[in-house]
Homo-oligomer: A and B are copies of this chain.
């Protein structure tokens, strides 16, 4: 027999809590599943809804050990409990990211926060201040960076395989908001199209930030300036549901960034192409296990998840042999895997590796949204980020 559960985090699954994610919220389940996927953590406590009955029912459905009616109570109580949670997951609408994260950071509890970082740049900056001044870890779930071949793409760029980066194209196209769902009782649509809860960007904040983050992650270059044309195609909508942008990157690359939630027939068509002086590359989220490398004057190569010919980062991010497709949940779980490893490191007095998106990426995302909105309002003028 093994010893019973222990306080030593290196000898047990970590204990996680969750705020938000009550029944009906898609992303809550994703966080639980991703956090637990590798058998390194269990969600044991939650304040899953602002509605107490829903909070309790949601917690019971997940077999949580502890359910709270408010996140403030949860933060205090868990911090005081020797067997309290090791980290908290923030899966609320955007405007609550800040106060919830603050409550737990204040108690020195590590935080995994959904994106975007906050509903305003001011809130985000205050959060950044808190994080930099404290000891708790902070991760932001720009989950698309968790795909093995996204990491391979970054390695290829870093290794110089593409040469000088010249041209980029990144896009995130959906259609789920092509009808005025917010006027038909859809809660997910309601808060995402409400400036008070979502922030100044609609599609730009919800998915444009993913596109921008993916581009910067892979190229290792920051978006320097944007020239944007934002639109609300659905009548009466208060935030953009579509955006077309010209972008310029540090170092001279140029291109376009498109995000749309009214692109009829598209599911989650996040795609990236990068063209350099030696090779191009292409990746599509809906077929995530293939990365196309396009070397000058040679046949395209199809790099596939799981192969020994991939770099270390991609190999480490994969759980199955080649040809057994991995998807969205596994990519999401890769962020948790890195974060959990950091929580263990910190518990053992080691320095964290911080190889997952964090506060800095969150701030960049908020500035991206702010400047894209400003550019569009000014008639599509170049704005620096």
- Whether a CB of chain B sits under 8 angstroms from the CB of A328 is yes
B264 near A280: Cβ-Cβ < 8 Å: yes
In the complex, which residue of chain B has the Cβ closest to the Cβ of A242? B167
Residues of B within 8 A of A265 (CB): 275, 279-280, 294-296, 300
A263 near B229: Cβ-Cβ < 8 Å: no
A285-314 interface with B by 8 A CB criterion: 285-289, 293-304, 306-309
**Smallest CB separation, A278 vs chain B (Å):** 7
Partner-contacting stretch, out of A124-132, A315-323, A339-347: A315-323
A39 near B30: Cβ-Cβ < 8 Å: no
In the complex, which residue of chain B has the Cβ closest to the Cβ of A309? B298
In the complex, which residue of chain B has the Cβ closest to the Cβ of A270? B323
Could you tell me which A residues sit within 8 Å of B by CB distance? 1-2, 4-5, 11-13, 26, 29-30, 32-33, 36-39, 42-43, 59-60, 62-67, 162, 166-167, 169, 171, 174-176, 178, 227, 229, 231, 233, 242, 244-246, 248, 254-256, 258, 260, 262-269, 273, 275-280, 285-289, 293-304, 306-309, 319-330, 379-382
Q: Known contacts A65-B2, A299-B303, A382-B380; is A262 also within 8 Å of B325 by CB? A: no
B227 near A380: Cβ-Cβ < 8 Å: yes
Q: Known contacts A66-B2, A262-B167, A267-B321; is A297 also within 8 Å of B309 by CB? A: yes
Residues of B within 8 A of A33 (CB): 37-39, 319
Given contacts A242-B254, A268-B324, A380-B380, 17 further A-B contacts (CB under 8 A): A1-B67, A2-B60, A26-B320, A33-B37, A166-B262, A229-B248, A244-B256, A245-B246, A255-B258, A264-B294, A265-B295, A286-B325, A297-B307, A324-B328, A325-B327, A326-B327, A326-B328
- Report Cα–Cα, A287/B229, bound state, in Å: 31
Of the candidates B166, B175, B299, which one forms a contact with A309 in the assembled complex, judged by CB atoms under 8 Å apart?
Answer: B299
Q: Known contacts A4-B65, A229-B246, A304-B299; is A256 also within 8 Å of B254 by CB? A: no
Residues of B within 8 A of A65 (CB): 1-2, 4-5
A266 near B280: Cβ-Cβ < 8 Å: yes
A269 near B13: Cβ-Cβ < 8 Å: no
**Smallest CB separation, A289 vs chain B (Å):** 8
A29 near B301: Cβ-Cβ < 8 Å: no
Residues of B within 8 A of A36 (CB): 36, 39
